[in-house]
Structure 1
Amino acid sequence: MTTQPADPMEGAPLIRPSTTDHPLYESVVEACRTVFDPEIPVNIFDLGLVYTIDISPQNEVGIVMTLTAPGCPVAGEMPGWVQDAVNSVAGVQNVEVQMTFDPPWGMDMMSDEARLELGFM
């Protein structure tokens, strides 16, 4: 008899929530907004490429992000751009950027500002 792998708990979010109540959160978001996908004239945060910003009590930042497509030409460079941008925020002690493609990025993840900028609204 074979068993099926356990499905994620029903109702569990696919994307882990960010620590939006941390005092550095807004500054980290603004730093992420300085990084752009070279092929799209919108920053990675408003594109919805940043899934989670997790900030510890020791001001260590963990970012889970994705790309518009797994074959993105800057896939190897973008995590470093994000790390450099967030490392420049006063008070940040350490930054780790993790790439994921689960869930895959979709245009529905863009902010209204990004949709407007790209002519989708």
Structure 2
Amino acid sequence: MAEREDVVLTRDVSAITVPDGDATTLTQGSIVTIHQALGNNYTVVTEYGHMVRIASEDADALGKEPHQLHTLVTETDPEAVEQNCWEVMKTIYDPEIPVNIVDLGLVYYCNVRPSETHTNENDVHVIMTLTAPGCGMGPVIQGDVEKSIRALPGVGKVEVEVVLDPPWSREMMSEVAQLQLGLY
């Protein structure tokens, strides 16, 4: 999002503080500036200068429409589900960086295999990392990945594992991400 937009909250809304990941509530009538509206969430800055993340399902408090999940394919075989997993992970953004977690190089692995216990379902295992070991938003981003993949057709069990080895570095970013951030 290139241009910042000031909005008045139309109702109280739950939010997550950035970068520490703590839950908070913003009150109706507060003025916030939309900093980033990418993926399924909004990153806003409060009138006191605090950065917080508001979930897509609370977009109405900002006067916006919730984002809709669109899958690339509707088939539920493991290959199609894996393709959808990668596509949905590209809709998840670090709240401070306007680049999705796949292009940031945070997702190391995504494996989809048929469920041993449920017919027509697949189990998904994702291994990812964080930009910094102590990132308070880590559990929030991990939860976003799990929730988004779980909503896909043909998905049963989802495991999202966060590892810190190998540690993330700028070199793990795609060329597109580096160009987007002016690093290439």
TM-score (norm 1): 0.78
| Residue in structure 2 matching 1:88, options 151, 163, 180 | 151
Which of structure 1's runs of 4+ aligned residues deviate more than 6 A? Answer: none
Equivalent residue for 2:169?
106
Query: Which of 79, 83, 91 is residue 34 of structure 1 equivalent to?
Result: 91
Aligned with 1:78 (options 128, 141, 148): 141
Equivalent position of 1:45 in the other structure: 102
> Matches of 1:116 and 1:90 in 2, distance apart?
33
Q: Matched residue pairs, number?
A: 101
CA displacement, residues 93-116 of structure 1 (integer Å, 9 cap, x when unaligned): 121100100100111111111111
1:73 CA displacement = 2.3
What is aligned with 2:80?
A: 23
**Whose strand fraction is larger, Structure 1's or Structure 2's?**
2
Corresponding residue number in structure 2 for 1:16: none
Give the percent of matched residue pairs that are identical in Structure 1 and Structure 2.
45
Bigger Rg, structure 1 or 2: 2
Q: Does 1:118 align with 2:178?
A: no
What do the CA deviations read for 1:55-105 (whole angstroms, capped 9, x no partner)?
112210000000000111202211111101111111111211001001001
| Corresponding letter in the other structure for 2:171 | D
Q: Within 2, Cα distance between the matches of 1:95 and 1:57?
A: 12
3-state DSSP of counterpart to 2:171: helix
TM-score by length of 2: 0.52
Query: 2:96, 2:135 → 1: CA distance?
Result: 9
Alignment partner of 1:97 is 2:154: no
Higher relative contact order (CA 8 A, sep 6+): 1
Structure 1: where are the runs of 5+ without partners?
1-20
Q: Which whole-Å CA distance do the structure 2 matches of 1:44 and 1:54 have between them? A: 17
CA RMSD of aligned residues (A): 1.3
